[in-house]
Structure 1
Amino acid sequence: MTRKYAIELIEEHEAVNLYSIHLNTKELSELECFFENFPEGCAYDEDIDTIIAWLDHIGERGALERYFRHEGKFGDGVSAIPIETSNLRLYCIRLSDKILIFGNGGIKDTSTWQESETLSDYVETLVDTSRFIASRLANGTLYIVDKEIIGNLNFTRDEKK
């Protein structure tokens, strides 16, 4: 099965641009889906507040490496917030201090994301996206200017199920 998606700009800040994966089969971006899964008044309000505080902090200061928990393989840029203790993880690609691409996330109910069927799909999508971006940057079909990703931001990922 093939999954088609795009990366879209969702918020611009002085220090950083926030992008999100948007699956062709969904109305909302993955970042929006994450927040939809944890509406106000749910059991995870405190965790969501922590994530929102981190997003505000990143918006003000940029996507500095120290603000993220590394989750993927070395060099793929896949990380999660928050770095502090939380029951939730929101996964992203930290492309630079000025560009952050969000996937989805969820409840951290296993010791590693690889053990969670839901979380592993989110992280593996980001790992593939990071690889696609690196390839397009290398061949010149995608490039970065300050806080912008310019070029073809449409991707196709073969499902591994």
Structure 2
Amino acid sequence: MIKKKEKPKLSLLYVVVIVLIILVSISVVIISISFNKTPRNGEGVPLYLGSRIFGKIVVDELEVSLSQFQDTALPNPCILMFGLTTCPHCHNMYEFFQKHYPDNYRAFWIDTDRTAAELFMMLVDIETKNGVPQHYAMAVPQTVIVVNSKVKAVVIGEVQEAEFWENLLKNN
């Protein structure tokens, strides 16, 4: 009598390897999606890391909070910098803006001004909800460009290139 060939049995090791590959693939997809939560269809305002564009973020909540200042003390257009009094990069930007934009610039020191700290934490929350990694969102200095009560751009970090700032103010 002729014996039929038996199908080889999948070993447990092969099953475990396949399941692991599937789980890793799913994890990669989830992580990719979470880091790419930038608004679709061109919505939102540009977010820069230094002078390079990172993506776009929706800042409606921040605009509402900033509107309480817009009628009183803020010029138009306005450059708002959030910083720490102990941060050398923040002081460099403070000096840069004082030199180039003294009438359009306001510094918000988040370690000495409670309102500034609350606005900054709102900005951090908005950025993280839009997929910005927390270590970037918590960084200072952060500069917000406001024109006609609308946030036009957010810049994280020190950028001392006058042309960069001129383009942000002109194109918005």
**TM-score normalised over the length of structure 1:** 0.28
Bigger radius of gyration = 2
Structure number having the greater strand percentage = 1
Q: Give the TM-score normalised by the residue count of structure 2.
A: 0.27
Higher percent of residues as helix: 2
